[in-house]
Structure 1
Amino acid sequence: MDKDHWGDPEVYRPERFITETGMLREDDAFLPFGLGRRRCLGEQLAKFCLFQMFAGVLQKFRLVPANGTGLKHSNVEGINLAPKPYDIIFKLR
């Protein structure tokens, strides 16, 4: 959430993290699994499980905002950042 580094950290922009070819862009300010000796041992398992779960959901459902409202990215600040609650509808494909 460093405004000096990201400019507008509260705005969701995937191009910050993904190159034009679809690869993960390396950035020293983005370390979701830590670094060095304290790096998370379950990083690869977590990434694999998240991919499998999300791919399965997207194969079976179409995600639609509830009541025609848009999905705007914003955070609830505290010890950890968390997205604000929003409603979506899972429609079968």
Structure 2
Amino acid sequence: MERLYGVHASDRGPVAAALGQVLGHSLHERESSFYGDYWMVRYGDVEVLVIPQVDPMGEAQEPDFTGYSTLIYVGSLEPIGGIAGLATEVGVIELLR
């Protein structure tokens, strides 16, 4: 099960930096044809992705949450403390599901 978080702002760099501080692991910028430019870290069995809401084809990644320009996927069965409600330079990270 993965958890989905969102930020209204589209600038993913400050979101990735804030998450890196909470997680104790820096996120690295990457590029893919599926996500476009995104940020990622994998530590242990947990993968964290910070992606744009709109993919390179112009489609929403999560149509139920189009008010959020940045999405954060955390692949963890257990919630990771400090993510939901985390204030970043561009907005607060909100738990979406």
Give the TM-score normalised by structure 1. Answer: 0.25
The structure with higher relative contact order (CA 8 Å, sep 6+) is 2
More helix by share: 1
Larger radius of gyration: 1
More strand by share: 2
